[in-house]
Amino acid sequence: MQHNGHQIDFTRRRYGRNTFTWIYVRFGDKWQSTGDPVRKIIPSKKDLDEAIKRAHANYRAEFAAEKKKSDEIRNEIASTDSQS
């Protein structure tokens, strides 16, 4: 399903009388969870917009953490090479 140019997917689970819907957004080749579920069978457009914002923030944070780790490894290799 598309919403505001984003590909989204849902997973629904029923617990007792309540149905919870988890929303996932695709960024590039990776599906990103939006976090907590929505307590509705069909999320509203407002719920989808908020979920996409959360997923995008999570995606950016994960990307920044991966980049930092990669930079640290690259710097460690460079310093080891320069000591040789």
> What digits encode the pLDDT tens for the residues 25-82?
888 888 888 888 888 888 888 988 888 888 888 888 887 888 888 888 888 888 877 7
Q: Which of 38, 30, 36 is nearest to 60 (CA)?
A: 30
Number of structural domains found in the chain: 1
Q: Coil, strand or helix: which one is 17?
A: coil
Residues facing residue 33 across a β-bridge: 24
Domain that holds residue 8: 2-83
Q: Is 24 left (phi over 0), alpha (psi -120 to 50) or beta?
A: beta
Verdict on whether the full-model pTM lies above 0.75: no
Euclidean distance between the first and final Cα of the chain, in Å?
A: 54
